[in-house]
Amino acid sequence: MKSRIEGAGTAPLRRASRILVVEDEPGMVLALEDALRGEGYEVAASADGIAGQKEAATGRHDLLILDVMLPGRDGFQVCQNLRAAGLRTPILMLTARSSTIDTVMGLRLGADDYLTKPFEMQVLLARVQALLRRAEAARAEAVQADPGRVVHAPLPAGSYHFGAFRLDTETMQLLKGDVPVPLNVQEFRLLEVFVRNPNKVLSRDALLSEAWGYDTETTTRTVDVHLAWLRQKLGEKDFPRHLITVRGFGYRFVPEP
């Protein structure tokens, strides 16, 4: 699946939330896709438990909508396997009947919320929004607890906007408008580290370990050299706008100068 820029996701450094629907009833899948896309979400779908679990395990999604009754592997089992594998993506389970056992079971196995079929689409959308907001708040809290903390996890696949640029972490491309800006792998990695750590001062050591890894023979001078190349490609060699030198500390990435 290619990343797409959608209406709701074009704000700087924001992307549309990605939702995976694991459901085998084609009519239900269509209805969910329609409703969710109408809200600006990106939607992918899997029609059975095995494929759904595999897709979910990639961690590319912000939320899973998981039906209980599935061919291949039931939703409970999928949920349990994903949580056992350490996946923390919010899961909204769809249970076929209003059975207390089903809902308790789902929540016990690690689902975050559940809905009983049939349900009102507006109710589902409200639950989806609440789960996404809760996950976002938890992330923000973690960052706030330690504002200087470097984010180590690679950015989820998608498009990230800053200034006139768009970094696509799926195709590993930088675009200025529609025009690709050629970056080598190392420049791309360095830029990705900045984009995932906006407005933070990053030391040369931090940049080296994030973009090159510890086991290289590169020195902090390498960081300066690559940074100069990156500035040149962003067209800010003489007047840095996005990549700002913080004397005595390192560099700071400013998404919207």
Please report whether residue 69 would count as binding Ca ion according to CB under 5 A: yes
Binding Ca ion by CB under 5 A: which of 42, 67, 102, 210? 67
47 binds Ca ion (CB under 5 A): no
For position 102 contacting Ca ion by CB under 5 A, the verdict is no
Closest approach of Ca ion to the CB of residue 118, in Å: 12
Q: How far is the CB of 188 from Ca ion (least distance, A)?
A: 41
DSSP state, 57? T
- Cross-strand partners of 166: 161, 175
Q: What is d(CA 13, CA 152) in angstroms, rounded to the nearest whole number?
A: 17
Q: Among residues 44 and 244, whose Cβ is nearest to Ca ion?
A: 44
Q: Per CB under 5 A, does 24 bind Ca ion?
A: yes
Among the listed ranges 11-19, 49-57, 65-73, 235-243, the one in contact with Ca ion (CB under 5 A) is 65-73
CB 44 within 8 A of CB 21: yes
Per the listing, tokens 């990106």 go with: 42
Minimum distance of Ca ion from residue 23's CB (angstroms) = 6
CA distance 238 to 145: 36
58, 68, 64: which is closest to 24 by C-alpha? 68
Residues near Ca ion (CB under 5 A) are 24, 67, 69
